[in-house]
Amino acid sequence: MKRILSVFLGVLTAIGGFVDIGDLVANALAGARFGLSLVWVTMLGVVGICLFAEMSGRVAAVTRRGTFDVIRERLGPRAGLINLVASVLVTVLTFTAEIGGVALALELATSVNYLLFVPVVGFAVWLVIWRLKFSALENVFGLLGLALIVFAVALWKLGPDWSEFLHSIVAPRKPATEDLSTYLYYGVALFGAALTPYEVFFFSSGAVEERWTAKDIATSRVNVFLGFPLGGLLSVAIAGCAALVLMPQGIEVDTLGQVGLPVAVAVGKLGLAVAILGFVAATFGAALETGLSTGYSVAQYFGWQWGKFVKPRQAARFHIVVLLSLMAAIAGVLTTADPIKVTEYSIVFSAVALPLTYFPILVVANDPVYMGEHVNGRLSNVLGTLFLFIIGIVAVAAIPLMLITAAGQ
């Protein structure tokens, strides 16, 4: 019974923790501008993140080591360093976007300018990382993130023609008024949002934090293959709400306030309050994950003691890296750069860095020296290779598309 409850909790936190500022913005933006014609990209991204999160969780459970530790050993320090630098840059940018997202959500709840919240949010993030146990941190914000289910309720209350709704997803059509390059650019952004690199680092490092062994591989698979797709459905609900309420009005999403408007229209004040709670939980939870991921990657690469399973004094360099990245993120938001624009850039740059994250994971998961009997099967390898091909195309196309479309204008 205890095991079933633990699996159930894991699935719920995987659902609630799936959506972050990138998913909120990218899905609402795409829904308002392209209707449901880009939902297929989100679904493809969810398949990809399931595939690689399962691999990285399995690697962590079998080797009991962090991803970067194994990558550096397997691919050598030079390849590992390129991987590290790219991942840390993208993760700190994402961290900045998440901190900005929490502050924007608090502004919507209070009318107080978001910049005033930034130092407070930064301090709260540091305090939680410093003081809270890993399992508590993961479960509390994962469960609170379930508040975003209100978008699914709003979608149901908006009462779309479901057959037409599903048809728009399975037979997508680019709106005639939009260029193909813009359509593809937003496709890249959605793909980057679904497959953000920090998610796999956090997932695999979390496996080590929670002392998973090969016996926990089945639990990990349930979390990934059930929790992530259900979390992906929240992304689809956000896009669906934007497509039904904002698109007919000609509203293009460039603020977090616009993301929540369909919930206000469909469910009212109470629903909106739940949505704001969901925004805060999702972005705060993701801020914790990105902050920790920065520390995990750097400490694992250099072979330092890391993690929350030891006292902060024993992992001092790990905590210093987390603190420095937090200070960089706070400084980034305080430049008054629009957090939504930062989010848009972070997910596109995530797309560029994807091969550097996912290729080494496939290599290690396929290496019998590390994985023994838990090495990748034929299906994982075929799908993994196929996905790496797609990821490669997306990474190469991202920057040219950004330039051609003037970042989706």
Annotate each residue in 263-302 with x if it binds other proteins (CB under 8 A) or - if it does not, as one string. -xx-xxx--xx--x--------------------------
Nearest to 361 by CA among 382, 384, 377, 390: 384
The amino acid present at 180, given as its one-letter code, is L
Nearer to other proteins, 13 or 258 (CB): 258
Q: Is residue 105 at the binding interface for other proteins, with CB under 8 A as the rule? A: no
CB of 111 to other proteins, least distance (A): 4
Q: Which stretch binds other proteins (CB under 8 A): 6-14, 246-254, 369-377, 393-401?
A: 246-254
Nearer to other proteins, 133 or 179 (CB): 179
Residues 6+ apart with CB under 8 A from 284: 98, 102, 121, 124, 125, 141
Q: Is residue 119 at the binding interface for other proteins, with CB under 8 A as the rule? A: no
Residues 6+ apart with CB under 8 A from 120: none
| Residues touching other proteins, count (CB under 8 A) | 26
List 260, 339, 360, 408, residue binding other proteins (CB under 8 A): 260
CB of 116 to other proteins, least distance (A): 12
Nearer to other proteins, 77 or 268 (CB): 268
CB of 241 to other proteins, least distance (A): 13
List 75, 254, 363, 381, residue binding other proteins (CB under 8 A): 254
Which string of DSSP letters, residue by residue, matches 20-88? -HHHHHHHHHHHHHHTTTTHHHHHHHHHHHHHHHHHHHHHHHHH-S-HHHHHHHHH-HHHHHHHHHHHH
Contact (Cβ atoms closer than 8 angstroms) between residue 108 and residue 256: yes
Annotate each residue in 160-189 with x if it binds other proteins (CB under 8 A) or - if it does not, as one string. -----------------x------------
CB of 112 to other proteins, least distance (A): 9
CA 284 to chain centre: 12
On the 0-12 / 13-18 / 19+ scale of CB atoms within 10 A, 107 is: middle
Annotate each residue in 129-158 with x if it binds other proteins (CB under 8 A) or - if it does not, as one string. ------------------------------
List 7, 109, 337, 363, residue binding other proteins (CB under 8 A): 109
Q: Is residue 335 at the binding interface for other proteins, with CB under 8 A as the rule? A: no
The amino acid present at 370, given as its one-letter code, is Y
Nearer to other proteins, 277 or 356 (CB): 277
Q: CA-to-CA distance for 263 and 187, rounded, in angstroms?
A: 24
Neighbours of 328 (CB within 10 A): 14
Q: At residue 407, what are phi and psi to the nearest 5 degrees?
A: 55, 45
Q: What angle do CA 344, 347, 348 make, to 5 degrees?
A: 85
CA 9 to chain centre: 19
Q: Is residue 339 at the binding interface for other proteins, with CB under 8 A as the rule? A: no
CB of 194 to other proteins, least distance (A): 25
Nearer to other proteins, 163 or 336 (CB): 336
Contact (Cβ atoms closer than 8 angstroms) between residue 11 and residue 145: no
Q: At residue 212, what are phi and psi to the nearest 5 degrees?
A: -65, 150
Q: Is residue 251 at the binding interface for other proteins, with CB under 8 A as the rule? A: yes
Q: Is residue 261 at the binding interface for other proteins, with CB under 8 A as the rule? A: yes
Nearer to other proteins, 200 or 245 (CB): 245
| Residue ranges that bind other proteins, judged by CB under 8 A | 107-111, 177, 245, 249-252, 254-255, 257-258, 260-261, 264-265, 267-269, 272-273, 276, 409
